[in-house]
């Protein structure tokens, strides 16, 4: 394992990365951009090593994917053994045990003790597409409702569900039909104030669905229990259980998109667990397989089994190498109590970011859960005007100092923290020191 130490050997990005970025510009579509163009050669624990010998602290986990850490020995061993045995058969042609085992694990670990079934896919967007297919097929209803600030992917259907135009949707339409959007319970910016948010948002959402869609036309409501790309928005207590109850009353399926929030990220197996919410269908991906591409839909057996044989599938879905990585990642989460580790990381982040908020008026709110935390930056606490310029400046400062940070939010003014759960306390604190230094420097 590479030394768990931040090293600045050159400027970031250094000459080798700059040369590679030149080749990238000449070879790769400009539509695929890179947030921090340092070219990685090795990674483990909480460190990424680049082509110039710089070692950066990782606060992003490749967007919440390497939850068990790069260089996780269980994952390395399982993947190596599987590659040696066989790499692909296509589960729809010749099945293998590990696919079934991943589904058994998902059925056991996802919220609720009811009878469940799962199906495996390659990407988060593909899982969302399939959850919608199952919801429409099993209810016989067309409409799907998503939320302001929601993010569900970049395919045609999931672009339609995703809220933000730039960069995800701009000039890529027309989008799929029968998709609707309702306001999100966003306590920090709720017009009636955070205390009234849960009740008022629930009333607004259910009103709009009744008036604009009609409950009987609505197959599903899809929500991220903690929104990811849209700004790490945590709905107020009571909102999700209230929404789940209302959906059940009207035969509308609740789809929890746990692609970013799932698999120990928030300190539970899934973010829904926090309030005991049991969705009808759940999508998972990212943290499930230690960096290998794997995604899943898990749901009520009666819904998942309503689909005719052959109705769900795909060439690579549940690839054996990805399944081996998933079983090893889940074993790590169970045996190393990574949910507990996420809660510890959450305590450190809450404390340190809270102190930053006391010091700087520009930190409007610190929010999140476990190792999925964020701070929203504003011009001042009264206007709450989104401060995207400061967010970009601090982000740049962190990158130059050897800390991989990510931003998000509909207004580009949210700093998010998604460290791998394998990061040491020492690196976590050092990263937060770098953040503070960059913050002070950006405010000049």
Binding site for ligand PLZ (CB under 6 A): 63, 123-125, 128, 151-154, 224, 228-229, 257, 259-260, 285
CB of 266 to ligand PLZ, least distance (A): 13
CB of 151 to ligand PLZ, least distance (A): 5
Nearer to ligand PLZ, 229 or 365 (CB): 229
Nearer to ligand PLZ, 66 or 260 (CB): 260
The residues near 432 (Cβ < 8 Å, ≥ 6 apart) are 348, 349, 352, 353
CB of 158 to ligand PLZ, least distance (A): 7
Nearest residue (beta carbon) to ligand PLZ? 124
Nearer to ligand PLZ, 51 or 259 (CB): 259
Nearer to ligand PLZ, 152 or 401 (CB): 152
CB of 33 to ligand PLZ, least distance (A): 9
Nearer to ligand PLZ, 37 or 194 (CB): 37
CB of 286 to ligand PLZ, least distance (A): 7
CB of 161 to ligand PLZ, least distance (A): 9
The residues near 386 (Cβ < 8 Å, ≥ 6 apart) are 376, 377, 378, 379, 409, 411, 412, 413
CB of 63 to ligand PLZ, least distance (A): 5
Q: Buried b / exposed e across 241-253, counting CB within 10 Å, b at 16+?
A: bbbbebbeeeebb
* Contact between 338 and 264 (Cβ < 8 Å): yes
CB of 295 to ligand PLZ, least distance (A): 6
Nearer to ligand PLZ, 194 or 313 (CB): 313
CB of 142 to ligand PLZ, least distance (A): 21
Nearer to ligand PLZ, 13 or 153 (CB): 153
Nearer to ligand PLZ, 258 or 362 (CB): 258
CB of 409 to ligand PLZ, least distance (A): 13
Nearer to ligand PLZ, 49 or 152 (CB): 152
| Alpha-carbon separation of residue 109 from 113, 277, 369 (angstroms) | 9, 14, 19
Nearer to ligand PLZ, 280 or 362 (CB): 280
CB of 293 to ligand PLZ, least distance (A): 8
Nearer to ligand PLZ, 166 or 211 (CB): 166
Q: Buried b / exposed e across 359-379, counting CB within 10 Å, b at 16+?
A: ebebbbbbbbbbbbbbbbbbb
Q: Which two tokens stand for residue 82?
A: 């599987």
């Amino acid at each position: 394992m590479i030394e768990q130490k931040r090293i600045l050997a050159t400027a970031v990005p250094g000459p080798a990365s700059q040369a590679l970025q030149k080749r990238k510009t000449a070879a790769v579509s400009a539509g695929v951009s890179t947030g921090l163009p340092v070219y990685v050669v090795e990674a483990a624990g909480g460190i990424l090593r680049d082509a110039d010998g710089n070692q950066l602290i990782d606060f992003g986990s490749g967007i919440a994917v390497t939850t068990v850490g790069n260089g996780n020995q269980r994952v390395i061993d399982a993947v190596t053994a599987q590659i040696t045995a066989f790499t692909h058969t296509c589960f729809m042609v010749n099945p293998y045990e590990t696919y079934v085992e991943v589904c058994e694990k998902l059925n056991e670990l996802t919220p609720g003790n009811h009878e469940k079934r799962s199906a495996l896919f390659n990407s988060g967007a593909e899982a969302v597409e399939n959850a919608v297919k199952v919801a429409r097929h099993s209810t016989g209803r067309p409409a799907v409702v998503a939320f302001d600030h929601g993010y569900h992917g970049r395919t045609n259907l999931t672009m339609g569900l995703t809220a933000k135009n730039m960069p995800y949707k701009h000039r890529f339409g027309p989008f799929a039909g029968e998709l609707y959007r309702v306001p999100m319970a966003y306590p920090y910016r709720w017009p009636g104030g955070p205390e009234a948010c849960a009740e008022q948002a629930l009333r607004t959402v259910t009103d709009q669905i009744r008036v604009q869609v009609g409950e009987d036309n609505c197959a599903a409501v899809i929500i991220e229990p903690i929104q990811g790309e849209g700004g790490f928005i945590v709905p107020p207590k009571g909102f999700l259980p209230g929404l789940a109850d209302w959906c059940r009353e009207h035969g509308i399926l609740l789809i929890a998109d746990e692609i970013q929030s799932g698999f120990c990220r928030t300190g539970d197996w899934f973010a829904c667990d926090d309030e005991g919410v049991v969705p009808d269908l759940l999508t998972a991906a990212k943290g499930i397989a230690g960096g290998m591409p794997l995604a899943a839909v898990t749901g009520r057996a009666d819904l998942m089994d309503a689909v005719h044989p052959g109705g769900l599938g795909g060439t690579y879905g549940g690839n054996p190498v990805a399944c081996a990585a998933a079983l090893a990642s889940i074993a790590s989460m169970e045996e190393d109590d990574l949910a507990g580790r996420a809660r510890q990381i959450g305590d450190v982040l809450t404390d340190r970011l809270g102190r930053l908020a006391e010091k700087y008026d520009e930190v409007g709110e610190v929010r999140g859960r476990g190792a999925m935390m964020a701070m929203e930056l504003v011009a001042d606490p009264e206007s709450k005007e989104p401060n995207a310029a400061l967010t970009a400046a601090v982000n740049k400062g962190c990158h130059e100092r050897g800390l991989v940070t990510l931003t998000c939010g509909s207004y580009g003014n949210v700093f998010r923290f998604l460290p791998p759960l394998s990061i040491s306390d020492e690196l976590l604190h050092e990263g937060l020191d770098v953040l503070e230094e960059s913050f002070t420097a950006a405010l000049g």
